[in-house]
């Protein structure tokens, strides 16, 4: 068959996919039927918006570097209701949505007497998508005054389809949950209430997923317990609580509030490992010596009694100043965790370092300070024991499979190796600074860690670190047993946070069944929920980032026309993103505002280069900027290069 005929046949085929509208001029459509995303110009979008399920065709599928297509029709709308502001005119009005991925406004019909306040945000419902002018919508609710905390947070919550309340059927079920633990239930479990146990969490935490215990054995070893809230004990997979938890899949942590996966009675009460209270747990117990050599692992249902609730800060204080009856235990656990951590990195784990921005809010939830969260030894210690518990549980499934010579369905947390093209981009980028990496599979992790050591304290440290992280694949949930590249684990799961992650609830249920000689489950349900949970995790992360951007824009409003030292954090064809060192806030320098030269974007070296003067702006470079504008509605900060 000739080339032209092949091309024609392929172009006649149609596909389904989901719209990701990234720029006003074009969108991308992702489809399970085609490996790469399809670029579609705005004129070929047929009124589709971000998140819509569409039918489309390819226009140039023979060009494998850049697939392009055209939408034929919208199959399913992702949403019909939007929050934003109204631009009022005499006889009509336009609605401009807050959602930054919606690049159309909506026509609002009105009578002459009706007026709208331009500073009020409203909820509208689309009544006609196929109008010749613009989609038509009706105002159905006033949200609040633009710029106010609750108004803006509700806009973010709506944009990401987050549920702030639970259905009545779920609330009714929680009312029927028993507070008291029966003697019959206690007899089914290993009773650990006489062992000194404690929790370590952020100072504002209310849901305590995990606790630790340690006691010295007679043979210079220690018995360590990692105790996880036994969430699955309180509801089965046939309940309304479970149905809602499946749907939410994760808790969401916005700057000023938490949107929980489980109702408060479960998340903050019955499941939370509060101090001085008996609690049901699923525990990983083992013996370990001072060389961090582990043996005698036991996994099963337990009951504990937490003796102390530590924050990360006061646990660190107990370690540093030896001022607590728990100090000796904390020091021992910390020393062992450091050895476990060191072994993990020697095995090839990649040492990711990501900054977490935190805000100090006043009583009205206005930001009065911004800072980066400092990772102390206690943060690293808890992280290490949670990683260990997750690894031990995943390896237990291997044991079942080996002993019973059959596959066991389970929920894994996997992290695929970086794609070859991403590694080539990374190699090219670091080469301009004089660095090299070995991308062979057996050497890659160690080579990346060596690179991180070499750049430490250098001007290019931040930019190379960010580029390396962007080169990595995204971790996800799967029933396929694949390795976790970033952690250098052959088997890994999520078991330690069932209050806030549904995959952990699934892992608990499967593990408990297999520990009690249950037969392997069919994987269909679990694979569907793994994909859904991965999707909802990404959605939650995006919502959290938007809440941070809102607070950053709100905070920087007080600094208009002030000058700051900044570091270039991103370079694109439309401008330079810069993080202000003092306030930790990121803004954009539009390339159109750089009047001293005509600048081109070099996508290979990720830099902007002036045509006449050859001036270069690249990641990690320090610059001086002026804050020229903030837009709380769009959650943006505009900067000017000085």
Q: Where residue 407 falls among pLDDT bands split at 50, 70, 90?
A: very high
pLDDT at 509: 98
Q: In this structure, are 184 and 302 located in the same domain?
A: yes
Q: Where residue 569 falls among pLDDT bands split at 50, 70, 90?
A: confident
pLDDT at 1: 37
Give the CATH number, domain containing residue 586: 2.40.50.140
pTM: 0.90
The neighbouring-strand residues paired with 616 are 609
Residue 307 lies in a domain: yes
pLDDT at 116: 86
Q: In this structure, are 66 and 115 located in the same domain?
A: no
pLDDT at 9: 39
Q: What are phi and psi of 507, to 5 degrees?
A: -60, -40
Cβ atoms < 10 Å from Cβ of 616: 13
pLDDT digits (tens, 9 = 90+) for 459-497: 788 778 888 888 889 999 999 999 999 999 999 999 999
Q: In this structure, are 71 and 86 located in the same domain?
A: no
Please tell me the least confidently modeled range out of 197-201, 283-287, 434-438.
Answer: 434-438
The neighbouring-strand residues paired with 641 are 625
Q: In this structure, are 197 and 339 located in the same domain?
A: yes
What range does the domain containing 432 cover?
A: 417-472
Q: Which two tokens stand for residue 580?
A: 């202000």
Q: In this structure, are 85 and 65 located in the same domain?
A: no
Residue 365 lies in a domain: yes
pLDDT digits (tens, 9 = 90+) for 225-260: 999 999 999 999 999 999 999 999 999 999 999 999
Q: In this structure, are 217 and 134 located in the same domain?
A: no
- The count of domains in the chain is 5
Instruction: Say whether pLDDT at 409 is over 90.
Output: yes
Q: Cα–Cα distance between 412 and 495 in angstroms, integer?
A: 10
pLDDT at 443: 83
Do residues 74 and 126 make contact, with C-beta atoms less than 8 angstroms apart? no
Residue 33 lies in a domain: yes
pLDDT at 583: 92
Q: Read off the pLDDT of each residue in 377-389 and give the average, rounded to a whole number.
A: 97
pLDDT at 12: 66
* Strand, helix or coil for residue 131: coil
Crossing angle between the packed helical segments 327-346 and 377-404, to the nearest 10 degrees: 60
Do residues 585 and 559 make contact, with C-beta atoms less than 8 angstroms apart? no
> Residue 144 half-sphere exposure, CB side, CA atoms within 13 Å?
10
Please tell me the least confidently modeled range out of 59-68, 385-394, 429-438, 554-563.
Answer: 59-68
Residue ending a domain, among 353, 369, 389, is 389
> What's the Rg (C-alpha) of the chain?
27
Q: In this structure, are 244 and 355 located in the same domain?
A: yes
Would you report the helix, strand and coil content of the chain in percent, each value rounded to 5?
30, 30, 35
Q: In this structure, are 462 and 318 located in the same domain?
A: no
* Average pLDDT in the chain: 91
Residue 199 lies in a domain: yes
Q: Cα–Cα distance between 135 and 74 in angstroms, integer?
A: 14
- Of 113, 111, 118, residue with least CA distance to 92: 111
Do residues 530 and 502 make contact, with C-beta atoms less than 8 angstroms apart? no
Residue ending a domain, among 146, 162, 195, is 146
Residue 123 lies in a domain: yes
Residue with tokens 């935190």: 358
pLDDT at 446: 86
- Of 194, 182, 166, residue with least CA distance to 261: 166
Q: In this structure, are 422 and 338 located in the same domain?
A: no
CA 265 to chain centre: 25
Q: Cα–Cα distance between 59 and 36 in angstroms, integer?
A: 14
pLDDT at 66: 64
Q: Where residue 7 falls among pLDDT bands split at 50, 70, 90?
A: very low
198 contacts: CB under 8 Å, gap ≥ 6: 211, 212, 213, 275, 306, 307, 308, 309, 310, 326, 329
Q: In this structure, are 295 and 431 located in the same domain?
A: no
pLDDT digits (tens, 9 = 90+) for 515-565: 999 999 999 999 999 999 999 999 999 999 999 999 999 999 999 999 999
Counting residues of the chain whose pLDDT is more than 70, the rounded percentage is 97
Q: Cα–Cα distance between 413 and 476 in angstroms, integer?
A: 6
Cβ atoms < 10 Å from Cβ of 231: 28
Residue with tokens 């092949």: 6
Angle value at C-alpha 243, between 238 and 245, nearest 5 degrees? 125
Q: In this structure, are 243 and 122 located in the same domain?
A: no
Do residues 73 and 46 make contact, with C-beta atoms less than 8 angstroms apart? yes
Do residues 307 and 275 make contact, with C-beta atoms less than 8 angstroms apart? yes
Do residues 119 and 90 make contact, with C-beta atoms less than 8 angstroms apart? no
pLDDT digits (tens, 9 = 90+) for 459-468: 788 778 888 8
Listing DSSP states for 528-571 in one string gives: HHHHHHHHHHHHHHHHHHHHHHHHHHHHHGGGTT-EEEEEEEEE
Q: Which two tokens stand for residue 355?
A: 């900054």
Q: In this structure, are 215 and 346 located in the same domain?
A: yes
Residue ending a domain, among 54, 76, 98, is 76
Residue 490 lies in a domain: no
CA 23 to chain centre: 22
Q: Read off the pLDDT of each residue in 389-402 and give the average, rounded to a whole number.
A: 97
Residue 478 lies in a domain: no
Angle value at C-alpha 274, between 278 and 239, nearest 5 degrees? 75
Residue 110 lies in a domain: yes
Q: Which two tokens stand for residue 523?
A: 């994987």
Instruction: Say whether pLDDT at 5 is over 80.
Output: no
159 contacts: CB under 8 Å, gap ≥ 6: 83, 98, 99, 543, 546
Instruction: Say whether pLDDT at 64 is over 80.
Output: no
pLDDT at 620: 83
pLDDT at 112: 66
pLDDT at 627: 97
Give the CATH number, domain containing residue 97: 2.40.50.640
Q: Cα–Cα distance between 81 and 125 in angstroms, integer?
A: 4
Instruction: Say whether pLDDT at 63 is over 80.
Output: no
Residue 428, H or E segment: helix 420-431
- Of 157, 160, 152, 158, residue with least CA distance to 630: 152
Between 486 and 34, name the one with better pLDDT.
Answer: 486
Q: Which two tokens stand for residue 413?
A: 């947390």
pLDDT digits (tens, 9 = 90+) for 261-309: 999 999 999 999 999 999 999 999 999 999 999 999 999 999 999 999 9
pLDDT at 539: 95
pLDDT digits (tens, 9 = 90+) for 100-146: 889 999 999 877 677 888 889 999 999 999 877 789 999 999 999 99
């Amino acid at each position: 068959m000739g080339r032209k005929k092949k091309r024609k046949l392929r172009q006649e085929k149609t596909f389904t996919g989901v719209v990701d509208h990234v720029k006003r001029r074009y969108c991308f459509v992702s489809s399970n039927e085609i490996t790469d995303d399809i670029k579609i110009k705005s004129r070929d979008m047929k009124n589709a918006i971000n998140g819509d399920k569409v039918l489309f065709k390819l226009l140039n599928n023979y060009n494998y570097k850049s697939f392009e297509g055209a939408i034929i029709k919208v199959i399913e709308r992702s949403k019909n209701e939007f929050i934003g502001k109204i631009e009022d005119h005499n006889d009509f009005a336009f609605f401009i949505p807050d959602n930054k991925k919606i690049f159309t406004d909506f026509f609002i019909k009105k009578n002459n007497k009706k007026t709208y306040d331009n500073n009020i945000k409203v909820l509208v419902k689309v009544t006609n998508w196929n109008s010749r002018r613009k989609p038509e919508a009706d105002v159905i609710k006033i949200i609040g005054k633009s710029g106010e905390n609750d108004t803006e947070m509700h806009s973010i919550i709506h944009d990401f389809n987050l549920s702030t309340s639970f259905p009545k059927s779920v609330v009714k079920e929680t009312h029927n949950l028993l507070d008291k633990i029966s003697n019959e239930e206690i007899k089914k479990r290993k009773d650990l209430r006489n062992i000194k146990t404690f929790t370590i969490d952020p100072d504002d935490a209310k849901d305590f997923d995990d606790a630790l215990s340690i006691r010295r054995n007679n043979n210079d070893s220690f018995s360590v317990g990692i105790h996880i809230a036994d969430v699955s004990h309180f509801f089965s997979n046939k309940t309304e609580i479970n149905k809602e938890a499946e749907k939410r899949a994760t808790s969401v942590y916005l700057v000023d509030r938490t949107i929980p996966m489980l109702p408060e009675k479960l998340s903050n009460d019955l499941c939370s490992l509060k101090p001085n209270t008996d609690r049901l747990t699923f525990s990983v117990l083992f013996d370990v010596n001072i060389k961090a050599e582990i043996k005698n692992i036991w996994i099963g249902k337990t009951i504990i009694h937490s003796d102390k609730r530590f924050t990360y800060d006061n646990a660190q204080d107990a370690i540093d100043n030896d001022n607590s009856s728990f100090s000796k235990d904390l020091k021992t656990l910390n020393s062992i965790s450091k050895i476990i951590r060191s072994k993990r990195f020697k095995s090839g784990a990649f040492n990711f370092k990501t900054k977490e921005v935190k805000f100090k809010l006043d009583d009205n939830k206005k930001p009065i300070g911004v800072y980066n969260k400092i990772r102390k030894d206690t943060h690293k210690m808890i992280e290490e024991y949670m990683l260990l518990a997750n690894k031990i549980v995943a390896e237990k499934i291997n044991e079942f499979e080996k002993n019973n010579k059959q596959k066991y369905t389970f929920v894994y947390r996997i992290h695929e190796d970086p794609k070859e093209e991403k590694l080539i981009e990374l190699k090219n980028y670091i080469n301009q600074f004089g660095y090299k990496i070995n991308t062979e599979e057996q050497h890659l992790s160690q080579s990346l860690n060596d690179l991180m050591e070499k750049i430490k304290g250098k001007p290019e440290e931040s930019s190379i670190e960010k580029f390396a992280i962007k080169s990595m694949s995204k971790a996800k949930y799967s029933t396929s047993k694949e390795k976790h590249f970033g952690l250098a684990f052959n088997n890994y799961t999520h078991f330690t946070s069932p209050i806030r992650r549904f995959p952990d609830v699934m892992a608990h249920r499967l593990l408990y069944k297999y520990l009690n000689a249950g037969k392997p489950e069919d994987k269909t349900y679990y694979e569907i929920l793994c994909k859904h949970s991965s999707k909802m995790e990404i959605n939650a992360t995006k919502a959290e980032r938007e809440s941070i951007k809102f607070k950053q824009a709100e905070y920087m409003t007080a600094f208009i026309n002030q000058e700051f030292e900044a570091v270039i954090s991103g370079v694109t064809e439309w401008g330079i993103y810069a993080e202000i060192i003092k306030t930790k806030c990121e803004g954009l320098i539009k390339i159109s505002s750089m009047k001293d030269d005509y600048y081109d974007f070099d996508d290979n070296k990720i830099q902007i280069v002036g045509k006449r003067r050859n001036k270069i702006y690249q990641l990690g470079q320090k610059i001086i900027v002026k804050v020229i504008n903030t837009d709380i509605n769009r959650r943006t900060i505009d900067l000017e290069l000085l």
